[in-house]
Amino acid sequence: MHFKPDYTIKAKARLVVCGYSQIRNVDYFETYAPTTNTKVVFTMLMIAMRHQYKVATFDVSAAFLEGVNDVIQYAWIPAELCDNNNKPLRVKVKGNWYGEKQGPKIWNDKLDHILKTMGFSRCPSMPCLYLYKDNENIMIITVHVDDGLIVTNNDSLIDNFMTAFLSFVQKAELYRDHRRYLGMDFNINDNNIIVTQQQYIKEQFNNYNTKVNTPMSSTTNLRTAIPNGNNESLLPVCGRLRYLADRCRPDILVATGEISTGGANNPSDQHV
């Protein structure tokens, strides 16, 4: 389930092409597209807190439909979606499309062009990070695919940015009061910024209701624990725990690492 920053459900319905049928160097070339990381996000929030800057987020709707295809391609539209005597229809792909191998790169190239046209400079070491600065104003933006985080010293600069940005894309939404980014929720006031992932925890761990009031013992050695073939793999849950540990819950990092050791296949009862 996908949520918008204001916690309303984000409904998605997409017509996706079969990217697996594309041939390298014929239907696509480069596929690389950068993604931001939590270090960038936390650094931006620290700057905002230190200087009392404004924070906002934005979301680009149907970002992968933006941009122009970099090669000539054709696709078959399913017969169920065509008014073609119940036959599939062959079409030429003009723009970008969900499912294309180069889709993320085409969108990122367009985004980079838009922001540079608007006066932003791209960070050479963090390609998702952009800076706008004049004599009085400063705006820092990081973009993770189609989700953006804004930090600025001038509140009106946020509205000016969105007005200009919307002249380049079909649709984008700005969120001021509800701040949700990369699965993290920001509660911002004059004194601090609290980062939580309560919604993610509720979604992912609702079935885990066993409560233990003490942390894992420092003398526990799961490497000597006896595997139990009746226990399901802990690999999926360890991945979700690591996602939390790398963002808002560093206190569970050691325990998560220990459980991951030997927990992938036939984990012991002690692992569980």
The answer to whether residue 143 scores a pLDDT higher than 90 is: yes
The tens digit of pLDDT for each residue in 4-26 reads 666 677 777 777 888 888 888 88
131 strand-pairing partners: 121, 140
Split at pLDDT 50, 70, 90, the class of 230 is very high
Provide the angle, in degrees to the nearest 10, between the axes of the packed helices 235-245 and 253-260. 160
The count of other CB atoms within 10 Å of the CB of residue 241 is 21
Residue 6's pLDDT is 65
* Contacts for 89 with CB less than 8 Å, ≥ 6 apart: 76, 77, 79, 82
Residue 105's pLDDT is 92
Annotate 233-249 with DSSP letters as a single string.
Answer: P-HHHHHHHHHHHTTT-
Give the span between the Cα atoms of 48 and 154, in whole angstroms: 11
DSSP three-state, residue 100: coil
The count of other CB atoms within 10 Å of the CB of residue 140 is 22
